[in-house]
Amino acid sequence: MQHGRYRFIVGFLAAPVLLYVVFVISPYVQAFYIALTNWKGVSANPQFIGLENFSRLLDDEVFWAAVRHHGVLLLVMPLVTIVIALFFSFLLNLSGGQKGGQMSGIWGSKVYRVIFFLPQVLAVAIVGVLFQTIYRPDETGVINGLLGKVGIDPVGWLIDPNIALLAIIGVMVWQAVGFYVVLFSAGMSSIPKDVFEAAALDGAGRYTLFFKITLPLLWDTMQVAWVYLGIAAFDAFALVQVLSVDRGGPDNSTTVLPLEIWRTAFNFSKFGYASAMGVALFFMTITFAALTLRVTRRERIEF
């Protein structure tokens, strides 16, 4: 009986595991191998050069510029997104006080959830084209048009190297907030209402409800959100390609590693060097996720 169960489990898992190995693990292994060669994308037998591509990365200024930009993205984008999403989630779920003996959100909260989630259904390319119009450097742009009405000169949102990356981060936050509003709302909905009602009866205000009750009970959800947003910060390929000047400009002020990988491989046919960048990005992402889960680990609160 026991052997029959094992055979059933193995037979049930064999096909999905095989597909995973072929389409996920195998490409990773091939990328690691290609990173050790000087493959140009066409030769059948690339020359093995060992760690030469990785040593070149150490002296590549564009590579390190992209790494610094990922550092800014990791610092700003997840933090701002989570803070805004938590604020709106609290408003939509718990800030309306008690109605019918239960905690509720502000009036029209169901409609607001739909509005917040709308950016999620838009393709990234559409979002990029939309914000190209919003960020135009003259008064035909939406933001500069509004600034012009109050006497402020137009701002080069995407052509000024000092603010171009921050402008793109703003778009990433705008697009991501809706999903995390829904995620945190689901987390708040899973918290027993008795906890909030008891706190409200004891005289707890909105500040106490948010910081002393909601945040500790949402910690696991916030941990997952931080990892997801960090992975998104290591990507950022599509928005940077669509929004930035000359794909990563001006003067490489907005370039990111996925964009450099694509450009190195398909513009310069240096697939071996691009794979080395990809391997570096892979280990950065894995390290970030592991450190985040380790640092933010807390004892689970049961309720």
Q: pLDDT digits over 119-166, tens only?
A: 888 888 888 889 988 988 888 888 888 888 888 888 888 888 889 999
- pLDDT surpassing 80 at residue 275: yes
pLDDT at 109: 67
CATH code, 58? 1.10.3720.10
Q: Does a structural domain hold residue 7?
A: no
Q: Does a structural domain hold residue 248?
A: yes
Higher pLDDT, 7 or 52: 52
- pLDDT surpassing 70 at residue 104: no
Instruction: Give the percent of the chain with pLDDT over 90.
Output: 21
Q: Confidence class of residue 65 from pLDDT cuts 50, 70 and 90?
A: very high
Cα atoms found within 13 Å of the Cα of residue 104, Cβ hemisphere only? 11
pLDDT at 91: 81
Q: Does a structural domain hold residue 247?
A: yes
- pLDDT surpassing 70 at residue 292: yes
Q: Does a structural domain hold residue 1?
A: no
Q: Confidence class of residue 203 from pLDDT cuts 50, 70 and 90?
A: low
Question: Average pLDDT of the chain?
Answer: 83
Q: Does a structural domain hold residue 142?
A: yes
Q: Does a structural domain hold residue 240?
A: yes
Q: Does a structural domain hold residue 22?
A: no
Q: Confidence class of residue 108 from pLDDT cuts 50, 70 and 90?
A: low
- pLDDT surpassing 90 at residue 64: yes
Residues near 225 by beta carbon (within 8 Å), at least 6 away in sequence: 78, 81, 82, 85, 180, 183, 184
pLDDT at 300: 59
Q: How many domains does the chain have?
A: 1
Higher pLDDT, 170 or 104: 170
Q: Does a structural domain hold residue 28?
A: no
pTM tops 0.75 = yes
Which residues span the domain enclosing 185? 51-295
pLDDT at 205: 67
Lowest mean pLDDT among 6-20, 71-85, 204-218: 204-218
pLDDT at 101: 47
pLDDT tens readout for residues 165-182 = 999 999 999 999 988 988
pLDDT at 90: 82
